[in-house]
């Protein structure tokens, strides 16, 4: 992940989507944003360049990943801005963040879904926003999910209900990674669900990476004018704390 998230088509597309949604929030200078389950810090690194005026924080369960993420943050900000801890019991006070972003974390086997959602709600300011990215469709589970310890996949309707039940309001969502979904489906059908195949996070041939990224750019532009398909490889969710 640390080596690929700045260049691999999937991470570039994911981060671009999240950055678009963060931009639409119109967060003022000094607003506090938490990347909950920040991995090796790729999204935080891009946000630090695009919005140096934000108070960016990161939380990561894996200490090695957290150390790598610290190395990507601007000098002088890393030590106290990125903590090791779990989304099941976040080491922050109530109402600390104007926005929380969490990408492909709620689906993890080590995450207690109700506890994590309660923590997200607790740590947001009133009116604060939660942005989630989640893998779609439980029937799409594969060797990749086994390798990265994904326990849950979601439909958009399931994800929206989970957040509403947890106390969030103005819950909206949809699918993305739709144009490549037929290829994803074919891969899932042929790769199997065992652990031997490993993760899909790996270097792609340069031509294939460029092609997939170009498709994602087209899809993102279509989404920007309101054209989205009712299916895809991932689910996005946006919700507010009352």
Q: In this predicted structure, what is the pLDDT of residue 188?
A: 77
CATH of the domain at 80: 3.40.50.150
Give the model's confidence band at 163: pLDDT under 50 very low, under 70 low, under 90 confident, else very high.
very high
Q: In this structure, is residue 27 part of a structural domain?
A: yes
Higher confidence at residue 141 or residue 137? 137
CB neighbour class for 203 (10 Å; exposed up to 12, middle 13-18, buried from 19):
exposed
Q: In this structure, is residue 4 part of a structural domain?
A: no
Domains held by the chain: number: 1
For residue 179, what are its two tokens?
Answer: 């144009």
If DSSP codes are grouped into helix, strand and coil, which group holds residue 133?
A: strand
Q: For residues 45 and 82, is the Cβ–Cβ distance under 8 A?
A: no
Q: In this structure, is residue 124 part of a structural domain?
A: yes
Could you read off the pLDDT of 101-135 as tens digits, one per residue?
999 999 999 999 999 999 999 999 999 999 999 99
Distance between CA atoms of 132 and 194, rounded to whole angstroms?
27
Query: Whole domain around residue 17: which residue ranges?
Result: 9-240
Residue 196 has pLDDT above 70, yes or no: no
Distance between CA atoms of 195 and 203, rounded to whole angstroms?
19
Q: In this predicted structure, what is the pLDDT of residue 195?
A: 46
For residue 70, what are its two tokens?
Answer: 């610290």
Number of DSSP helices (H) and strands (E) in the chain, helices first: 9, 7
Q: In this structure, is residue 208 part of a structural domain?
A: yes
Q: In this structure, is residue 157 part of a structural domain?
A: yes
Q: For residues 110 and 61, is the Cβ–Cβ distance under 8 A?
A: yes
Mean pLDDT across the stretch 24-43? 96
Cβ-based neighbour number of residue 64 at 10 Å: 11
Mean pLDDT estimate for the chain: 91
Give the model's confidence band at 200: pLDDT under 50 very low, under 70 low, under 90 confident, else very high.
low
Give the model's confidence band at 146: pLDDT under 50 very low, under 70 low, under 90 confident, else very high.
confident
For residue 169, what are its two tokens?
Answer: 């309001």
Note the pTM of the prediction, 2 decimals.
0.92
Distance between CA atoms of 100 and 92, rounded to whole angstroms?
12
Q: In this structure, is residue 1 part of a structural domain?
A: no
Give the model's confidence band at 9: pLDDT under 50 very low, under 70 low, under 90 confident, else very high.
very high
Give the model's confidence band at 78: pLDDT under 50 very low, under 70 low, under 90 confident, else very high.
low
Distance between CA atoms of 178 and 223, rounded to whole angstroms?
11
Give the model's confidence band at 66: pLDDT under 50 very low, under 70 low, under 90 confident, else very high.
very high
Distance between CA atoms of 9 and 215, rounded to whole angstroms?
10
Q: In this structure, is residue 2 part of a structural domain?
A: no
């Amino acid at each position: 992940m640390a080596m690929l998230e700045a260049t691999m088509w999937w991470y570039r597309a994911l981060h671009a989507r999240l950055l678009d949604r963060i931009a639409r929030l119109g967060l003022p200078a000094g607003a506090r944003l938490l990347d909950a389950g920040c991995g090796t810090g790729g999204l935080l690194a891009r946000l630090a360049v695009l919005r140096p005026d934000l108070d960016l924080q990161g939380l990561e369960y894996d200490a090695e990943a957290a150390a790598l993420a610290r190395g990507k943050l601007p000098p002088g900000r890393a030590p106290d801005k990125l903590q090791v801890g779990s989304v099941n019991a976040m080491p922050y006070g109530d109402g600390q963040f104007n926005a929380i972003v969490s990408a492909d974390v709620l689906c993890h086997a080590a995450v207690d879904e109700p506890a994590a959602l309660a923590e997200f709600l607790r740590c947001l300011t009133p009116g604060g926003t939660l942005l989630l990215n989640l893998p779609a469709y439980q029937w799409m589970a594969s060797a990749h999910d086994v390798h990265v310890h994904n326990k849950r996949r979601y439909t958009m309707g399931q994800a929206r209900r989970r957040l509403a039940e947890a106390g969030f309001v103005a819950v909206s969502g949809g699918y993305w990674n739709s144009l490549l979904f037929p290829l994803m489906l074919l891969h899932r059908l042929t790769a199997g669900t065992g652990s031997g195949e490993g993760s899909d996070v790996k270097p792609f041939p340069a031509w294939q990476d460029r092609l997939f990224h170009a498709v994602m750019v087209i899809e993102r532009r279509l989404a920007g004018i309101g054209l989205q398909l009712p299916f895809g490889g991932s689910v996005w969710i946006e919700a507010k704390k009352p």
